[in-house]
Amino acid sequence: MVRAAVLPAIGSSLEVTEIELPAPGPGQVRVRLAAAGVCHSDLSLADGTMRVPVPAVLGHEGSGTVVSVGEGVTHLAPGDAVVLNWAPSCGRCHHCGIGEVWLCERALAGVGEVYARTVDGRALYPGLNVAAFAEETVVSARCVVPAPEGVPLAEAALLGCAVLTGYGAVHHSARVRAGESVVVFGVGGVGLAALQSARIAEAGPIIAVDVSPDKEELARAAGATEFLLAGEDTPKQVRSLTQGRGADVAVECVGRAASIRAAWDCTRRGGRTTVVGIGGKEQQVSFHALEIFHFARTLTGCVYGNCDPARDLPVLAEHIRAGRLDLAAMVGDRIELDGIPAAFEAMLAGKGARALVVF
The CATH 3.40.50.720 portion of the chain extends over: 163-303
Predicted pLDDT at 254: 94
Predicted pLDDT at 318: 95
Predicted pLDDT at 116: 95
Query: In whole angstroms, what is the distance from residue 104 CA to residue 89 CA?
Result: 5
Predicted pLDDT at 348: 80
The CATH 3.90.180.10 portion of the chain extends over: 2-160+327-358
Cis peptide bond upstream of 8, omega within 30: no
Predicted pLDDT at 13: 87
Please give the CATH superfamily to which domain 163-303 belongs.
Answer: NAD(P)-binding Rossmann-like Domain (3.40.50.720)
180 in the Ramachandran plot: left (φ > 0), alpha (ψ -120 to 50) or beta? beta
Predicted pLDDT at 92: 94
pTM: 0.92
Class of domain 2-160+327-358 (CATH, top level): alpha beta
- Tens-binned pLDDT, residue by residue, of the chain (359 aa): 899 999 998 888 899 999 999 999 999 999 999 999 998 888 888 888 888 899 999 999 999 999 999 999 999 999 999 999 999 999 999 999 999 999 999 999 999 999 999 998 999 999 899 999 999 999 999 999 999 988 999 999 999 999 999 999 999 999 999 999 999 999 999 999 999 999 999 999 999 999 999 999 999 999 999 999 999 999 999 999 999 999 999 999 999 999 999 999 999 999 999 999 988 889 999 999 999 999 999 999 999 999 999 899 999 999 999 999 999 999 988 999 999 988 888 888 777 778 999 99
Q: Which amino acid is present at 21? A: L
Query: In whole angstroms, what is the distance from residue 312 CA to residue 241 CA?
Result: 32
